[in-house]
Amino acid sequence: MTNPRKKIILNEILFWKQNKLLPEHYCDFLAALYAEGADVEELDPVHHKQAVLPSEKRKMYLLIVGICIAIIALLSIYFTISSLTLVLSVIVGIAALILFITAFRMAQKNNLLTPIFHLLAAILLFSMSIRIYTTYFNGNNIALFCLIAANCGVWLWSGIKMKLLYYTVSGVLGLLALIGYYIINLL
């Protein structure tokens, strides 16, 4: 077996068999098919043990990036040094925008990590809104009300646009809570 492509495929089949990703008899059939009668055991056992599916690598990479962005967002909430506030706010804002775009693209591919990215993007957007409020409008309740209403509006719009029930419900419940709070404070 001199063809490197066949070796790669056979190593992947052995990896699937070893990790029970496919039933054993399927793997045996596929290995016999690609080996064309050659001995499958002559393959390098190190390569099929190290085989990692590209989508798994990508998922792990995106999950790590999402967690790092969430950590940056949480740290930006606690910084009070005025020179770092603007820089961190800009970094977190850009990260939130990138996360929204990434989540939207992943939603189109029906990836399993999509809800996690949606949640992180919503948290980043909300934390940025609160950061903007505390930095520029501290003490102005109307500005806080408007920023939270804008967040809920974005969640509602995103839920309707991307057909995501959890965003739609979050947006509606948030707006109802704001309206309820406003009505209670008027009485």
What is Dmax (Cα atoms) for the chain? 84
| Mean per-residue pLDDT over the chain, rounded | 75
Contact 79, 85 (CB under 8 A): yes
The pTM of this model reads 0.48
CA-to-CA distance for 77 and 57, rounded, in angstroms? 31
Model pLDDT for residues 18-48, shown as the tens digit of each residue: 877 778 877 787 787 777 766 655 554 444 4
Q: How far is CA 139 from the centre of its chain?
A: 34
Residue 151 has pLDDT above 90, yes or no: yes
Model pLDDT for residues 46-91, shown as the tens digit of each residue: 444 444 455 666 666 666 766 766 676 666 666 555 556 666 667 7
Task: Name the token pair of 57.
Answer: 């690598």
Tell me which residue of 133, 131, 175, 169 sits closest to 152, measured CA to CA: 175
CA-to-CA distance for 89 and 118, rounded, in angstroms? 20
Q: How far is CA 82 from the centre of its chain?
A: 30
Residue 180 has pLDDT above 90, yes or no: yes
